[in-house]
Chain A
């Protein structure tokens, strides 16, 4: 089996390389036999063609069909209008998922900015800055699945009489009279526990973006403010922070999209139990457990609609940037 996988990997890689070179070289040569005006017009499409086909077949066309499916019944045989939307939106499971998704969208971006910015600003003031950066940096490469295992273990709960094997409960039970908390099962804490685990994997991204933005601020401005007797906080608040506003926006929008799409961590840590569902886990169950394409499509469409404002904003930013350039 393992030998098969290696063979497949090597063959596929070679095939991709050969196909790419062959397609572009031969296509280019064939188009250049045409009259020059034609060739000039068609060559760009030779290059963008494969990407357009891939995006069209895997992203655009299925997305449109999902919206259509969401207006049909469970096996796609009859038009039911907005029934799937009204039924899923009146379902308490979806309502809890919407509430949780809102919680994710508020907390994940703001906490990422808080932690990322704090570390980016403070890290140069301590001698062990490199270690701090590495600590935040490493979890970026860790899958949400592994992070889910790591944090389920951190949050582990044992009855008050037993040895606490979860780090967090071992720490809080050192305070006399404190009982361990079932972080993941307790509905007052579990959503925060899941968001915290996600923050752990994402804060490094925010830190890197902020560190780069801080380096771009002219040093003289901060120096000048200090000379005028401003406190460190005032320098940060009135000189540094205004420069960072665009960066805060970038981190916020990126994290908002990540919060909206959240699936892996929830799937691994609770599978949506104990009131921790988010829209993606609801869609996954509608698709595989309930096998209702209509409702699954409706939930996916709701998710898409929530992303549209950010998409419009990004387009607006991109247009402005490219006009400046």
Chain B
């Protein structure tokens, strides 16, 4: 009797609604809200301030805080955007950014997917040594390469060219890219390739017709990473584009405005907004891929 009775008691105790829904004390819940709301405000208010200021007329931006514009509804203008797009050349910079970032991203994805395929799915000498080298190179500060690279670039006339910057971004991005894709590719079941190999398919046929289509989500994760990362890069562009305005991407152009326009907040805020639009759109549209890439890149790092 007792032995059959015991489990019964335990199971009634464990039914969740009875025990677990004990409400947390009021004070504790209030504290949770306070902390969360404060942190959220710290993260959202600066964005709101930027957005609002970029639409305010210059005299208003310089004389009153951005929150005052809520008291004077209708006092907004597109002049700041017109000014930075036409006069400050942000339109050209937008296309410079695209002309740097899109080919650099494609190049990195192409080169690293081939390498990751070999490292994840083929057996060969030095394979694990190569993998370890990739992991070691993941966190090398790129600053260590810049002095000699710049000397060689000056010598070859690559300074100030997009080609030079594509190559640099490829070299800087490839170790992370190979590492990320290797983590994905290694999870693909071997049988898929082995069957094709039995049928006499070559490695490149397997790569293009099986591996890449299956791993499209992984490639998307990597592409978004590279895109946002290259778009937001300042240091590399600053050093290897030689300071020429006509090739400057958005980041260099905005930091140039900061130096030349100091307190011209109406110009700086709208220029910063413009520089954020493309990566923001890419990021929000593809956030699932972004998060997946982030987790795969960090979990074993």
Q: Residues on A close to B: CB < 8 A?
A: 1-2, 5-6, 8-9, 12-13, 16-17, 20-21, 24-25, 27-29, 32, 41, 43-48, 50-52, 54-55, 57-63, 65-66, 69, 115, 118-119, 122-123, 125-126, 128, 131-132, 135-146, 148-154, 156, 163-167, 170, 200, 203, 205, 208-209, 212, 223, 226-227, 232, 250-251, 253-254, 257, 260-261, 263-264, 267-268, 271, 279-280, 283-284, 287, 293, 296-297, 300-301, 303-304, 307, 310-311, 314-315, 317-319, 321-322
Q: Judging by beta carbons under 8 Å apart, are A165 and B32 in contact?
A: no
Q: Judging by beta carbons under 8 Å apart, are A58 and B145 in contact?
A: yes
Q: Residues on B close to A: CB < 8 A?
A: 13-14, 16, 19-20, 24, 28-29, 32-33, 35-36, 39-40, 42-47, 49-50, 53, 61-67, 91-92, 95-96, 98-99, 102-103, 106-107, 110-112, 114-115, 117-119, 122, 124-125, 127-128, 130-132, 134-152, 162, 166-168, 170-172, 174-175, 178, 202-205, 207-208, 228, 231-235, 238-239, 246, 250-251, 254-255, 258-259, 263, 265, 268-269, 271-272, 275-276, 279-280, 282-284, 287, 291, 294-295, 298-301
Q: Judging by beta carbons under 8 Å apart, are A51 and B147 in contact?
A: no
Question: Once the chains are docked, how many angstroms separate the CA of A258 from the CA of B282?
Answer: 23
Q: Judging by beta carbons under 8 Å apart, are A29 and B202 in contact?
A: yes
Q: Judging by beta carbons under 8 Å apart, are B36 and A263 in contact?
A: no
A48-B130, A59-B172, A296-B147 given; 20 more Cβ-contact pairs under 8 Å: A9-B98, A9-B103, A44-B127, A51-B112, A52-B115, A59-B140, A62-B145, A66-B148, A140-B283, A141-B283, A144-B232, A223-B16, A227-B14, A267-B238, A279-B143, A284-B235, A287-B150, A293-B151, A311-B139, A321-B300
Contact of B298 among A62, A250, A264 (CB under 8 A): A250
A50 with B114: in contact, given A59-B172, A167-B45 (CB under 8 Å)? yes
Give B15 Cβ to nearest chain A Cβ, in Å: 11
Q: Judging by beta carbons under 8 Å apart, are B276 and A132 in contact?
A: no
Give B83 Cβ to nearest chain A Cβ, in Å: 16
Set of chain B residues within 8 Å of A29, measured between Cβ atoms = 202
Question: Once the chains are docked, how many angstroms separate the CA of A284 from the CA of B228?
Answer: 23
Question: Once the chains are docked, how many angstroms separate the CA of A131 from the CA of B43?
Answer: 11
Residue of A nearest to B31 (CB): A122
Set of chain A residues within 8 Å of B279, measured between Cβ atoms = 141-143
Q: Judging by beta carbons under 8 Å apart, are A264 and B39 in contact?
A: no
Residue of B nearest to A286 (CB): B147
Set of chain A residues within 8 Å of B130, measured between Cβ atoms = 48, 52
Set of chain B residues within 8 Å of A143, measured between Cβ atoms = 231-234, 250-251, 275-276, 279
Give B292 Cβ to nearest chain A Cβ, in Å: 10
Set of chain B residues within 8 Å of A60, measured between Cβ atoms = 137
Instruction: Choose among B20, B50, B145 the residue with the greatest number of A CB atoms under 10 Å from its CB.
Output: B145
Q: Judging by beta carbons under 8 Å apart, are B64 and A163 in contact?
A: yes
Question: Once the chains are docked, how many angstroms separate the CA of A134 from the CA of B226?
Answer: 21
Contact of A122 among B32, B103, B234 (CB under 8 A): B32
Q: Judging by beta carbons under 8 Å apart, are B13 and A135 in contact?
A: no
Give A40 Cβ to nearest chain B Cβ, in Å: 8
7 residue pairs bridging A and B, Cβ less than 8 Å apart: A8-B103, A55-B171, A58-B149, A63-B144, A141-B276, A165-B66, A319-B132
Question: Once the chains are docked, how many angstroms separate the CA of A220 from the CA of B66?
Answer: 49
Set of chain A residues within 8 Å of B208, measured between Cβ atoms = 21, 24-25
Instruction: Choose among B44, B46, B117, B235 the residue with the greatest number of A CB atoms under 10 Å from its CB.
Output: B46
Q: Judging by beta carbons under 8 Å apart, are A119 and B36 in contact?
A: yes
Q: Judging by beta carbons under 8 Å apart, are B99 and A8 in contact?
A: yes
Set of chain B residues within 8 Å of A156, measured between Cβ atoms = 263, 265
